Amino acid sequence: MHEMILILDFGSQYTQLIARRVREMNVYCEIHPWNKCPELTPNIKGVILSGSPFSVRDEASPKPNLDAIKGKLPLLGVCFGAQYLSHNFGGEVMPSNTREYGRAHLSYVDHSNVLTKGMSDGSQVWMSHGDTIKKIPSNYKIIASTSDVEVAGYQVEGEETFGIQFHPEVYHSLEGAILLKNFIANVCHCKQDWTPDSFVEETVAKLKAQIGDDKVILGLSGGVDSSVAAVLLNKAIGANLHCIFVDNGLLRKNEFAQVLDSYKHMGLNVKGVDASAKFYEALAGLTDPELKRKAIGRVFIEVFDEESKLVENAKWLGQGTIYPDVIESVSVNGGPSQTIKSHHNVGGLPDYMKLQVVEPLRLLFKDEVRRIGRSMNIDEALLGRHPFPGPGLGIRILGEVTAEKVRILQEVDSIFINGLKEDGLYDDVWQAGAIFLPIQSVGVMGDERTYENAVALRAVTSTDGMTADWCHLPYEFLAKISNRIINQVKGINRVTYDISSKPPATIEWE
């Protein structure tokens, strides 16, 4: 078993970022809800307590039992975690006079402390809390302060127990990586050997043990996640993997043929299934985003149920589910994080379908999936493809989905994506696409008045999809693409560009 850092989740929006930062240091970690702590096996080298929307003073706030952890394993409390370790052991936590949110600078750093060694005086950190630690227990020692927060960091004397009031995992804590590396490498003494090659080796071994001689049906989409999942499964079970690529009628222009062609040289057994008519029928009359997602998911499962019956003795359904899908769909391992939206490939299968689910990438972030793919020599052109949602254009058409709207949006999307590639901008963008808006607007073409549809273009930069910023594409490029769309796509007379970030918006509009 690999060395592991255990992260106990108290519902913070940043918990997943802690996990990403730990993994960037080649150390495996898992997030578990604070009230469902797993068995403390010898491979767990340290524990991190996350932040939380709760106040430690609230009666209903999380109250973890740390008897088996504190003083026995390296322990780092972040924000709420730090407040809990103070409040619950004799300190005092009180409401702040003003909400401490945003940038702050360390006015004091204990350079001799193992946690803060190497951090600079004046280093910028990110605060996000309504309470503050007014007093620490007598055996706690302050190791960091800001001008407004005296107890920005502390250590329990005689223990490898630490608390920090700021968030080292976020980008705006400029030296947060130094602190986290100090904890991971110098306090927990992790070997930092969780690499792509080791993941492939261990995952293939696990898949062999899990699946045995059973047959697996895997849904391919042409994207990074399902492709990497397919290669991993192929390494484990070879000919017992049966890949299915479903045309749901909601793919990009010409994507069905292009994707099937791209898999010819990968040694995968792939069958293409045109089920677009079934998806269009299920989506007829639906306008609510969640109902559309559920309808697409239902038909997706039905198609796979039909296909599974054509593969004798198929017992598993492979999926390319990754960590952000799970996090946004259900609370991580049943924890306190809020559900943002449902994903069509998360949450199991209906009882009537006799397939078990196997998800080799379920605990990986998108950038990790690409690293795994590179270690297996998957074509860089495939690994570099922008993410594309499972429900496809169905959630990029606001309102009811029709074949005509799909046709229009496919043309718009094709012009936008090809334009990014032509101008050398594609690799600077994490995800891009077009959205069909449920409005019409007045325009003029020649001497005629038009009343046609509007579309929005969306392009974002990100590393994992958990947070994203809108991409600052050149005005000249946007003007050129807008002109092409309006001139070449009949039915569109207005193009807009989405400049909202995540949060507060999501990357997709539905």
Task: Label residue 328 by pLDDT band (50, 70, 90).
Answer: low
Catalytic annotation on 306? no
Could you tell me whether strands 92-109 and 140-146 are parallel, antiparallel, or unpaired per DSSP bridges?
antiparallel
E strand or H helix that includes residue 17: helix 15-24
What is the model's pLDDT at position 385?
87
pLDDT digits (tens, 9 = 90+) for 358-371: 999 988 888 899 99
Q: What is the DSSP-derived secondary structure letter of residue 91?
A: -
Catalytic annotation on 167? yes
Count CB neighbours of 36 within 10 A.
11
Per DSSP, the residues of 138-194 read TTEEEEEEESS-S-SEEEETTSSEEEESS-TTSTTSTTHHHHHHIIIIIIS------
- Among the listed residues 3, 100, 160, 169, the single catalytic one is 169
The count of residues in the chain is 510
Beta strands in 10-152 (DSSP E): 28-33, 44-49, 75-78, 92-109, 124-135, 140-146
Any idea which residue has 């539905």 for tokens?
A: 510
Structure-model confidence comparison of residues 98 and 134, the more confident one: 134
Any idea which residue has 């697409």 for tokens?
A: 296
| Summary count for the chain: helices (H), strands (E) | 13, 18
- Among the listed residues 29, 79, 190, 243, the single catalytic one is 79
What is the model's pLDDT at position 441?
87
Cα gap 434→497, rounded to integer Å: 9
Tokens of 118: 């190497």
Any idea which residue has 């690994």 for tokens?
A: 383
Cα gap 57→40, rounded to integer Å: 28
Nearest 5 degrees, angle CA 120-CA 163-CA 7?
110
What is the model's pLDDT at position 341?
42
pLDDT at 23 over 50: yes
Structure-model confidence comparison of residues 279 and 60, the more confident one: 279
Asked if residues 47 and 72 have their Cβ atoms less than 8 Å apart, the reply is no
Cα gap 216→311, rounded to integer Å: 9
Q: What is the DSSP-derived secondary structure letter of residue 453?
A: E
What string of H, E and C letters represents the secondary structure of 404-452? HHHHHHHHHHHHHHHHHHHCCCHHHCCEEEEEEEEEEEEEEECCEEEEE
With left for phi above 0 and alpha for psi between -120 and 50, is residue 65 left, alpha or beta?
Answer: beta
pLDDT at 510 over 60: yes
Task: Return the SS3 of 230.
Answer: helix
Task: Label residue 350 by pLDDT band (50, 70, 90).
Answer: low
Spatial CB neighbours of 154, under 8 Å, sequence gap ≥ 6? 82, 86, 133, 136, 140, 141, 142, 143, 144, 162, 163
What is the model's pLDDT at position 223?
85
Mean pLDDT of 453-469: 88
212-226, 247-261, 381-395, 408-422 — which one is most confidently predicted on average? 408-422
Paired strand residues for 274: 247
Paired strand residues for 470: 460
- Among the listed residues 167, 242, 343, 344, the single catalytic one is 167
pLDDT digits (tens, 9 = 90+) for 177-195: 999 999 999 999 999 999 9
Cα gap 19→7, rounded to integer Å: 8
Count CB neighbours of 143 within 10 A.
24
Q: Considering Cα of 273, then 274, then 278, then 280, what sign does the dihedral take?
A: positive
pLDDT at 25 over 80: yes
pLDDT digits (tens, 9 = 90+) for 129-159: 778 899 999 999 999 999 889 999 999 999 9
Task: Label residue 213 by pLDDT band (50, 70, 90).
Answer: very high
Paired strand residues for 29: 5
Paired strand residues for 461: 469
The CA-atom distances, in angstroms, between 84 and each of 387, 421, 478 are 39, 50, 50
Cα-to-chain-centroid distance, residue 301: 23
